[in-house]
Copies of this chain bind each other. A is one copy, B any other.
Amino acid sequence: MIGQEIENLIRTISRLPGLGSRSARRIALFLVKNRNSQIETLVSALKEVQEKVKICPVCGNYDTLDPCSICSDNRRDEKTICIVQDVADLWAMERTSAFKGKYHVLGGVLSALDGIGPEDLGLDKLLQRVQSNNIEEIVLALPATVDGQTTSHYIAEIMRETGAKVSSLAHGVPVGGELDYLDDGTIQTALKARYTL
């Protein structure tokens, strides 16, 4: 006996990632209660994004600028590009402020199971970008999964002819991590990659 407008809002919200029907109901009720203040704000934020945000043709980032604010920032080192799987990973890298180069968003990783091959990731476009801009270093920040690492090795292989240095984020014990809670693979990798103090 919930009105269909509210039911429809709950259904729409519950389709968002990470939200189940319970959290969707809670959010919908909050919006219904604050419909004069919150809905207006949310609708205008959504419309702004819908109207203005585009995919950067250079790196694949989302931005209102074309090329995006990272690609058009002259203070960033354009000879180093970091390769990430997704824009979420680009955001994660940016939050650290530790990387001062530019990016390339793959949009996925090679996957035999899902039938994703090199042509689906536009790796030829990446190769062309590296060659025509004389990129000096490619930092691979792909997921530490089997598919992610396969992709890293594949990219390292095709970049060999360009002469660019190819590196990857280090694998090991996460900062603040307890050994007891880590999987064997991570501990083995961290042991192999141990460094001298």
Binding site for B on A (CB under 8 A): 1-6, 8-9, 12-13, 15-19, 23, 25-33, 35-36, 38-43, 45-50, 52-53, 62-65, 68-70, 73, 86-88, 91, 94
Residues of B contacting A94 in the complex (Cβ-Cβ under 8 angstroms) = 1-2
* Contact pick for A48, options B8, B62, B65, B88, CB 8 Å: B8
Shortest beta-carbon distance from A9 to chain B in Å: 4
Closest to A12 in B: B45
Please give 11 more A-B residue pairs, beta carbons under 8 A apart, in addition to A5-B49, A13-B42: A3-B63, A8-B48, A16-B31, A16-B38, A25-B88, A28-B49, A32-B49, A35-B50, A39-B47, A43-B46, A43-B47
Selected A-B contacts with CB under 8 Å, 18 pairs? A1-B73, A1-B94, A3-B65, A5-B45, A5-B49, A5-B64, A12-B45, A16-B30, A16-B31, A17-B30, A18-B27, A19-B23, A28-B49, A29-B88, A35-B49, A35-B53, A39-B49, A42-B46
